[in-house]
A and B are shown apart, each in its own frame.
Chain A
Amino acid sequence: EPEVTQTPSHQVTQMGQEVILRCVPISNHLYFYWYRQILGQKVEFLVSFYNNEISEKSEIFDDQFSVERPDGSNFTLKIRSTKLEDSAMYFCASKRWTSGDGTDTQYFGPGTRLTVL
């Protein structure tokens, strides 16, 4: 069964450094998402991406964040200057389509644990 993959599984970085988290969505999917989950807390939406542009973003997704789909398979999340509070698990998700009645399923990757020191 096809699945979403993410690399690396764990990233440790110094505060102020740039990080790029990588995701390979399921190949025939059209919608892509990033979520984050601070340890022990709920999953929070960051951004959705469709047709090579951001379709929606949350208040968390400020100017320090950016997303890209550079080559038709990878979907990346960049954090320009990491802060301590960016430490969290980052999940990528993808979805095939949105049907008229709103039925859809998002498939989550295994996540990247980001630790900012």
Chain B
Amino acid sequence: GQQVMQIPQYQHVQEGEDFTTYCNSSTTLSNIQWYKQRPGGHPVFLIQLVKSGEVKKQKRLTFQFGEAKKNSSLHITATQTTDVGTYFCAGKGAQKLVFGQGTRLTINP
């Protein structure tokens, strides 16, 4: 079945440093979604990428979808303490979302 791998599993940075998490699917995706989950919270939708090679920005966050629609990345520039949480990518199959394992971001103020 479809598998979505995400690396790294953990990332600890100093506040102000950049952060990147990578996502790879075993199959071509119709779209990929990114979610953020704060400790003790629920996944909150961040963005969806649909087109091959698509790049979207949300303030300090940059999302990319690979040309083959099998990989994606999320890059945060100049992290802030509010960025703490686990970032999940989720690849869309027919109906279901297949989530990656998540990258847990912690930040030293």
Chain A: residues with CB nearer than 8 A to chain B? 31, 33, 35, 41-45, 48, 50, 55-56, 58, 91, 101-111
Contact = CB atoms under 8 A, between A and B. Distances in A.
Contacts of A42: 88, 99-102
B73 interface: no
Interface stretch (B14-22, B38-46, B56-64): B38-46
B42 A106 contact: no
Interface in B23-48: 30-31, 33, 35, 41-45, 48
A108 B92 CA distance: 16
Interface size class for chain B? 20 to 34
Contacts, number: 57
Nearest to B49: A103
A48 B100 contact: no
A102 B45 contact: no
B31 A103 contact: yes
A55 B95 contact: yes
B48 A108 contact: no
Given A43-B99, A48-B96, A56-B95, A108 B42 contact: yes
B84 interface: no
A48 B92 CA distance: 13
Contacts of A43: 35, 43, 88, 90, 99
**The 6 A-B residue pairs with the shortest CB-CB distance in the complex, in nearest-first order:** A56-B95, A45-B96, A102-B30, A43-B99, A48-B95, A42-B101
Nearest to A89: B42
A45 B98 contact: yes
Contacts of A110: 41-42
Contacts of B31: 102-104
Given A45-B98, A56-B96, A107 B45 contact: yes
A55 B31 CA distance: 19
Contact of A101 (B41, B50, B99): B50
B49 to A, nearest CB: 10
Interface string B79-109: 0000000001010101111111110000000
